[in-house]
Structure 1
Amino acid sequence: MTTEFEVSQQQSLQLLISLHRLLRTVRQAAPANGLYPTQLIVLSQLLQGGPMRVGELAAQVPCSQPTATTMVSHLEAMGLVAREPDPDDRRAIQVTLTETGRETIISVTHGDAEIIAARLAELTPEEAAQVLAVAPLLERLSGQRVDQR
């Protein structure tokens, strides 16, 4: 027998606000080298998935293709990504992460992880375990898959 579980709009809003506050405190504690959160998502997608066309990036972020094109242009001007011919279709261009881009996203994510680890250490071991147990569910809610490494 299945019982239906209802989440109120207020509960959903509170979860969203809490997640935003957590991310904001992480961003304030470890500035992301002048990068916007969406740019960080693009860099992390390229790190995880390898070279992608702009349309694929737009779908992964998610954002519109014109927004992704603008982001890629800014990241390219910063030396974090490069545009290269797609080996499968020479008429198409794919975006690749440069070594500087790779180092940048790894540095930012490691810094962010250190801040989260410090915040988790402020909780009881049981509370920290509860928060960590929720991570796969939040990943499912985000609609994105992340490789477990």
Structure 2
Amino acid sequence: MTIGDDEALQLVVSLHRLTRSLRRASTAGSVHLTHIAVLALLTRQGPARVGEIAQWVPCSQPTATAAVIGLEEAGLVRRESDPADKRASRVLLTERGAAALADIARGEAEVLAARLASLRPAEIRQLAEVEPLLRRLADTAD
């Protein structure tokens, strides 16, 4: 079975709407999306230069620089010399940054759990079966 472009578009729209609504309804609504993306990428990829962050997010280098500065001022990331090139620096996630990202995810999960409570048990099982597939699709992009 294949999925058509229209069905794929509707799935993308639904996933975006769900993600945005979870973010707005949780405490993550006050955190800039680019900041969340940078924290998540550093968690998954490890230390990176600002140029790499800009490619991963994706965003412009000035946007990535501004995000890193904001995260650094909040104590969520720090910079250190790049061992491969002492003229450059790498951005690293701090313990506080990892904790902040975990708090954001927990807040969104709490909102989602409350919404799931309105579904029938069979619908919840269907969603639980889809999660590994969504994770695999997300991992493919990396």
- TM-score, normalised with respect to structure 2: 0.81
Q: What CA distance in whole angstroms lies between the structure 2 residues aligned with 1:28 and 1:57?
A: 24
Look up the match of 1:7. Answer: 4
1:87 aligned onto 2:83: yes
Are 2:42 and 1:46 equivalent residues in the alignment? yes
Identity between Structure 1 and Structure 2 (%): 48
Q: Deviations over 1:54-84 (max 9, x none)?
A: 1222232222333212211221222221111
Letter of the 2:22 counterpart:
V
Q: In proportion to residue count, which structure has more helix?
A: 2
Q: Hey, what's the Cα distance between the residues in 2 that align with 1:69 and 1:30?
A: 26
Structure 2 counterpart of 1:7, one-letter code:
G
Partner SS, residue 28 of structure 2: coil
Question: In 2 relative to 1, CA 81–135 (structure 1 residues): closer, same or farther, beyond 3 Å?
Answer: same
Q: Which of 109, 112, 124 does residue 113 from structure 1 map onto?
A: 109
- The gaps in structure 2 that reach 5 residues or longer are none
1:16 is the counterpart of 2:16: no
TM-score (normalizing by structure 1): 0.78
Instruction: Determine which of 123, 127, 130 is the counterpart of 1:127.
Output: 123
Offset at residue 28 of structure 1 (A): 2.2
For 1:60 and 1:140, how far apart are their aligned partners in 2?
18
Q: Deviations over 1:104-128 (max 9, x none)?
A: 1111111112222222232223222
Secondary structure of the residue that 1:93 maps to in structure 2?
A: strand
8 Å contact 2:76–2:96 — kept in the other structure?
Answer: yes
User: What residue in structure 2 maps to residue 58 of structure 1?
Assistant: 54
Structure 1 distance, partners of 2:121, 2:54, is 39
User: Is 2:38–2:57's contact at 8 Å kept on the other side of the alignment?
Assistant: yes
5+ residue gaps, structure 1, are none
